[in-house]
Structure 1
């Protein structure tokens, strides 16, 4: 049943919605957006197709919710950095957050599937680009603060943000191309790259 305006969904509704999103993430990563039917989603989620349609109008709405969930996770990481006494040091120490997320095979497959759908579907492209704009602005401010604290001039914060983003997002593609990549060996190299860039 839809919630009245300004009323948060019940914990049960939130849990069911997350259950659908978890199932969709697994199905999209494994079968692709177009290969994962609503019947498969419902079987994976353990609920009827009608129940899924109660929460989401269609598969595109599920993709939109997955993009939003991914954005919220990124913003939570940003909040952790913002509350740190030394933002730069927090970023260096928590390189493992980005490395582990981007090199998780299921997560990498899902990210690349969403980007592939965005390349074909203008409506999904708008959602991906809007989320990227929010994420990029938040991290650019963090990088600006970190660089200023280290005596940088801040003149190229946007470019530095783009390069760091590309560095981490590229790990998803590398994980698919080279599933045996040595994550432990990458950690100090990523830290050194951040130190050089920031």
Structure 2
């Protein structure tokens, strides 16, 4: 029997993850069965269970993969000198993540933003998923905090605010923009970039008195 190549195994795993993501985005986690996933990817139960033991493992794999993409994007930015400004940083990394998922659609609309919102809701009841998300976001926050600190050292961001506060606000902007896309439909990340840029240029009314 010929050995199955690693390329084939990776492609099959990708097929399963993408199919599961579409199912979850279409009907939600609880209304989606493994039988729905099998039908979507057109594979036997044995072929799918070779890679994933069930729905929870599929969900965790999808979440973990996205968090790695986000973390890697910001880690790369954190290594650049000087790092990009927050408006460019948030928009560029979010745009990159959305681009990798643009092939996932439900009824012609991007599936990824809605899937992300469902993941957030699922963490309320799923402790294992909450742990995965907490670890992933913690890594992202650390990378963002280093970037903010570098800007503060360079004098391009005010230094009287703890860098973690700024990092968490940047995360909130990205997460909120994804939520808007899930609720109201696709929108270019340039909107987020330009909006953040405008807020960054706002005068400090408290400091003016």
TM-score bucket (shorter structure): 0.7 to 0.9
Q: How far apart, CA to CA, are the structure 1 residues paired with 2:199 and 2:137?
A: 22
Q: Does 1:165 align with 2:144?
A: no
Instruction: Give the C-alpha shift of residue 60 in structure 1.
Output: 0.6
> Which deviations, in whole Å up to 9, do the C-alpha atoms of 1:55-78 show, x marking residues without a partner?
011111111111110111112211
Q: Which residue of structure 1 lines up, in the alignment, with residue 29 of structure 2?
A: 33
Give the length in aligned residue pairs. 188
Structure with the larger helix share:
1
- Aligned with 1:23 (options 16, 19, 22): 19
Q: Which residue of structure 2 lines up, in the alignment, with residue 153 of structure 1?
A: 159
| TM-score, scaled to structure 2 | 0.77
Q: Which residue of structure 2 lines up, in the alignment, with residue 48 of structure 1?
A: 44
**3-state SS, counterpart of residue 123 of structure 2:** helix
Instruction: Give the C-alpha shift of residue 181 in structure 1.
Output: 5.9
* Cα-Cα RMSD: 2.8
Equivalent pair of 1:136/1:161 in contact (CA under 8 Å): yes
Q: Which residue of structure 2 lines up, in the alignment, with residue 189 of structure 1?
A: 195
Q: Does 1:85 align with 2:81?
A: yes
Q: Does 1:129 align with 2:125?
A: no
Q: Which residue of structure 2 lines up, in the alignment, with residue 6 of structure 1?
A: none
| TM-score, scaled to structure 1 | 0.81
Q: How far apart, CA to CA, are the structure 2 residues paired with 1:132 and 1:76?
A: 12
Equivalent pair of 1:140/1:157 in contact (CA under 8 Å): yes
Of the structure 1 ranges 119-128 and 181-190, higher mean CA displacement relative to structure 2 is found in: 181-190
**3-state SS, counterpart of residue 88 of structure 1:** coil
Which structure 2 residue ranges, 5 or more long, are not aligned? 103-109, 203-209
